[in-house]
Structure 1
Amino acid sequence: MNSISLSIIGFGNVGKGVAEVLYAKNRYFKEKYGAEIKVVSISDSSATLWNSEGINLEEALEVKRSFGSLKFWGQEYEIYSLSPNEVVEEIESDIVVDVTNDPNAGKWHLKALKAGKIVVTSNKPPVVFYYDDLISISHKKRIPYLFEATVMAGTPIITLLRTGIPADSVIKILGVLNGTTTFILNSIENGMNFQKALKRAQELGIAERDPSGDLKGIDAAYKAAILHNLAFRPIDFDKVQIEGIDSLSEDEVRMAKKKRKPFRLLASIEDGKIEVKPTRIPIDSPLAVNGTSNIVIIETDLLGKLIIKGSGAGIKETASGVVGDIIRAIRIQKDFTF
């Protein structure tokens, strides 16, 4: 049986979702993959729990739910005040799992890889701004760097582009990559005003407390840049053309739907060029998605057009992508093919 130890950095909604899956499916992973997964540290914004023998995930989740912070655990585990950088440096673990929104996390991702630690992340900025360096060190050290959950949550678009179509050259990618904006546009189309639509999205956990990254198109642009990095080559994010749905009026949104060409925040990706902007989509097009669904159309030289559609958000869905990468890391340790 393969035994592997994890340090989980970030214990918000996604981090808790990852812990829940690891706890609930522990026996399943043992039986199907021969994988013994042990979480040796968990960090939230206030504290780090660290036990080399493994942390009781059920109890960690209960403490977080009850008190909102790991620092209130009590006396069962040692509680530390460690930065992510210090977690990477001081705690012995095979995999560092980054489920934070730290825009500077690329620096400690690099440090982890250099130290021989696998990195699994749902955090987009490192894969946008540090991609070339991260992949270079990953290959040099033969250490996987995995980031399925950065685009389309657990829907395996990253795996598809990375290993699923090795004979094909990608020509173009079109995608609706941000479920929050689609939800808001749908709500406006159905008569709700913008502020009420946004508030409803926040109440349902679809939109962040600070929704500017979604509304201004930044989140979709990050995801588009990651797909570009995989399909073509690393791109300078400053060259990405971005326009968000905050440029639209409610009347424009409703009129477009009435004319059967609703607006969706569309990412267009070609070699050396990314454009993200609200675009009118024929209502019978696969790109005219509703709710929080994401969709990508990949055009290649051999297969033509591939369509991949799935949930682009959600705790379970994102946890699927993160834990899937953990399992993938275990399976490729000996082979280094991913």
Structure 2
Amino acid sequence: MDEVKLNIFGFGNVGRATARILLEKESVFKERYGLVFKVLSISDTSGTVWLPEGIDLHEALLVKENFGKLSAWINDYEVYNLSPTEAVREIEGDLIVDVTNDKNAWEWHMEALKIGKGVVTSNKPPLAFHYSELTEKAEGKGLPYLFEATVMAGTPVIGLLRETLLGDSIESIEAVLNGTTTYILTQMEEGVSFEEALKDAQKLGIAERDPSGDILGIDAGYKATILHCLAFKPITFDEITVRGIADVSMEEVRKSRREGKTIRLVASIEEGAVSVGPREVPRGSPLAVSSTQNAAVMKTDLLGELVIKGAGAGLRETASGVVSDIVKAALKIRGA
């Protein structure tokens, strides 16, 4: 049985969902892959809990959910005040799992790769701004750098581009990549105002307390940038055009509906050109998704048109992508 040591950074909603799946599927990972995961450290904004013998994830979840912060955990665990870079350097581990929103995380991702640790992340900005440096460093070191959950949650669009369509040349991608805006626009079609739809999305945990990244198109722009890096060549978020849904009026939504169309926040991706913005799509289009669904329509030289559709938001859905990458990375590290 191969033991793989994990350091988890971020213990918010996605981090806790990831921990729950590691617990639930512990026997599956042993039986199916011969893998045992030992979590040596967990970091949240209050500090880092570190135990060389391994952390009890049940206890970690209880502490976080009852007290809201890991620093409240004082019994058998010491809480350290370490920066992410210090934690990466000082704590033993095979694999860094980054489920934070830290825009500067690329720096400690690089540090992890330099010292021989693989990285799994759901964090989009490091890749949207530093894709080349990170993937080249990982390749040079022979280490996994995996990021399925950065785009379309656990729906495996990254794996499709990175590992499956290796003989195809991608011609274009059109995609709806942000579940929050899909939810808001779907509600507006039912007569709910933008403001009320946004409040509902926040109550349901679909939208963040600060929803600007979603409604201004930034989140979809990050994801579109990552898809371009995979399908064509590395670019950065600074090179793309982004417009959100904040100025989409109820009248525009109603007019679109009368004409048998629907407005969605669509990313258009071709080689050297990426744009994100609200666009009318026919009701029968694969892009006319509802609720929090995402969809991507890829055109390739060999397959023609390929549609991939699935959950684009949700805690277990995002954790699905993270955990799949943890398993994949562990198998690579162990040479399976």
**Structure 2 length as normaliser, TM-score?**
0.98
Map of 1:291 onto structure 2:
291
Report the secondary structure of 1:130's partner residue.
helix
Give CA-to-partner distance per residue, 1:97-123, whole Å, 9 cap, x none. Answer: 000000000011001001100000000
What is the alpha-carbon distance in structure 2 between the residues aligned to residue 64 and residue 236 of structure 1?
A: 35
CA distance in 2, matches of 1:154, 1:56: 26
* Match of residue 2 from structure 1: 2
Q: Does 1:194 align with 2:203?
A: no
Tell me the distance in 2 between the aligned counterparts of 1:32 and 1:59.
Answer: 26
RMSD value, Cα? 1.0
Who is 2:64 aligned against?
A: 64
- Matches for 1:107-122 after TM superposition, within 5 Å: 107-122=107-122
Aligned to 1:92: 92
Code of the residue aligned with 2:70 in structure 1: it is L
* Structure 2 CA distance for aligned equivalents of residues 248 and 194 of structure 1: 9
Q: 2:175 and 2:194 mapped to 1: Cα distance?
A: 23
**Partner in structure 1 of residue 83 of structure 2:** 83
Distance 2:257 2:32 in 1: 47
Distance 1:191 1:8 in 2: 42
Q: 2:2, 2:334 within 8 Å by CA — same for their partners in 1?
A: no
Task: Identify the residue that residue 235 of structure 2 maps to in structure 1.
Answer: 235
Displacement of 1:29 after TM fit?
0.8
Residue type matched to 1:211 in 2?
P
* Residues 1-338 of structure 1 mapped to structure 2, 5 A cutoff: 1-333=1-333, 335=335
Q: Which runs of 5+ in 1 are unaligned?
A: none
Q: CA deviation at 1:76?
A: 0.8
How far did 1:326 drift?
A: 0.5
1:237 shift after superposition: 2.0
Q: Decide whether the 8 Å contact of 2:130 with 2:236 is kept in 1.
A: no
Deviation at 1:83, TM superposition (A): 1.2
Distance 2:264 2:335 in 1: 41
1:335 Cα offset (Å)? 5.0
Equivalent-residue separation in structure 1 for 2:200 and 2:327 (angstroms): 35
d(CA) in 2 for partners of 1:236, 1:76: 44
Distance in 2 of aligned mates of 1:258 and 1:293: 23
Any stretches of 5+ residues in structure 2 without a counterpart? none
Amino acid across the alignment from 1:130: H
Query: In structure 2, what residue type is equivalent to 1:180?
Result: T
Which residue type is aligned with residue 326 of structure 1? I
C-alpha distance in 1 between matches for 2:90 and 2:335: 27
TM-superposed deviation, 1:75 = 2.0
2: CA distance, partners of 1:44 / 1:236: 28
Structure-1-length-normalised TM-score:
0.98
Residue 234 of structure 1: how far off its partner (Å): 0.7
Give the Cα–Cα distance (whole angstroms) in 2 for the partners of residues 238 and 44 of structure 1.
Answer: 29
- Contact 2:245–2:265 (CA under 8 A) maintained in structure 1: yes
Q: Could you tell me how far 1:194 is from its partner in structure 2?
A: 1.0
> Which amino acid is 2:266 matched to?
L
Question: Structure 2 CA distance, aligned partners of 1:236 and 1:290?
Answer: 29
